[in-house]
Amino acid sequence: MSVEESKQPWPTKDAMEQVYTNHLWGGKEYDFYSGEGSYVPEIVNPYIDVLTSFLTSFERPLVVCDLGCGDFNVGQELVKYTQKYIAVDIVADLIEYNKTRFKAENLEFHCLDIAKDDLPVADCAIVRQVLQHLSNSEIQSIIGKLSDYKYVILTEHLPEEDFVPNADIISGQGTRLKKGSGVLLLEAPFNLKVKNEKELLSVNVDDGRIVTVFYEVKLDAIQPLVRILKQERGG
Ligand SMILES: C[S@@+](CC[C@H](N)C(=O)[O-])C[C@H]1O[C@@H](n2cnc3c(N)ncnc32)[C@H](O)[C@@H]1O
């Protein structure tokens, strides 16, 4: 049995709390730090540019839900282009801290586990460098809810070369890169069904690339209804 196989998974909430408490993604000078991917200008600036273009292309500004918003160094730049910006994260202290630092009339923060909890209603979900840290079973449960959004903008850290996607990991600080893998939602075992797909951005980094993809998600009218009925029956 490999070390990975013999590891007992922690609850994701505990793992993410530990990441922030012990500064496992660096940034000891910050109270909360979501990692280099949220700060390095070569990574962050082009992302903010493409997201700004996307969000300002609508006549009626979108309601956006940022799933796994982290320290909000990136999200804070997008709030002004939205009708409403709902930012959620699993780490309660981080959300409380964000509430004191970032204030706008159209901005809300909520502490939610996006794999377990019901998600806020919005036009567009932003999921930036979150799924890469989660196990396949958690990703599967999140995907079930993504089809409630018209648009999904997903950012993932991927290996450089051709790779076998979606190797499973234990949720936590690390990513699939250590297994030479990365998350591709349209591939097995997830097989997300979408109407449209477009790569918006790919930034090369030392150990791969950080890729942002736009999905117009296929709205299966029955799916949200089935989930509501299941919830009402306690299932
Ligand atoms: C690498 S950080 C990225 C933060 C932000 N999206 C960004 O790009 O700057 C990943 C974030 O996802 C959050 N997260 C991980 N699993 C989550 C879950 N199940 N529910 C909500 N947030 C989660 C972590 O707490 C962390 O803040």
pLDDT in tens, 83-130: 999 999 999 999 999 999 999 999 999 999 999 999 999 999 999 999
Measure 90 CA to ligand 1 centroid, in angstroms. Answer: 7
Give the three-class secondary structure for 115. coil
pLDDT per residue as tens digits for the range 11-70: 999 999 999 999 999 999 999 999 999 999 999 999 999 999 999 999 999 999 999 999
* Cβ of 90 below 6 Å from ligand 1: yes
Rounded to an integer, what distance in angstroms lies between the CA atom of residue 149 and that of residue 151? 5
Q: List the domain boundaries for the chain.
A: 3-232
Give the three-class secondary structure for 72. coil
pLDDT per residue as tens digits for the range 172-210: 999 999 999 999 999 999 999 999 999 999 999 999 999
Answer whether 177's CB lies under 8 Å from 208's CB. Answer: yes
> What does the block give as tokens for 47?
């992302």
The continuous run of DSSP H or E covering 226 comes out as helix 222-232
The continuous run of DSSP H or E covering 140 comes out as helix 136-146
* Cβ of 82 below 6 Å from ligand 1: no
Alpha helices in 151-198 (DSSP H): none
Measure 233 CA to ligand 1 centroid, in angstroms. Answer: 30
Ligand 1 atom closest to the Cα of residue 25 is 1
Measure 70 CA to ligand 1 centroid, in angstroms. Answer: 5
> What does the block give as tokens for 137?
């079973």
CATH fold of 3-232, please?
Rossmann fold (3.40.50)
Answer whether 123's CB lies under 8 Å from 173's CB. Answer: no
Angle between helices 92-101 and 12-21 in degrees, nearest 10: 50
> Is the pLDDT at 230 greater than 70, yes or no?
no
% of the chain residues with pLDDT over 70: 89
Q: Where are the beta strands (DSSP E) in the chain?
A: 63-67, 84-89, 107-111, 124-128, 151-158, 194-205, 208-217
* Cβ of 89 below 6 Å from ligand 1: yes
Which among 14, 16, 77 is the best mutation to test ligand 1's pocket, defined by most ligand atoms within 8 Å of the CB? 16
Rounded alpha-carbon distances, angstroms, from residue 201 to 63, 130, 157, 204: 22, 17, 12, 10
Query: 217, exposed or middle or buried, with CB in 10 Å at 0-12, 13-18, 19+?
Result: buried
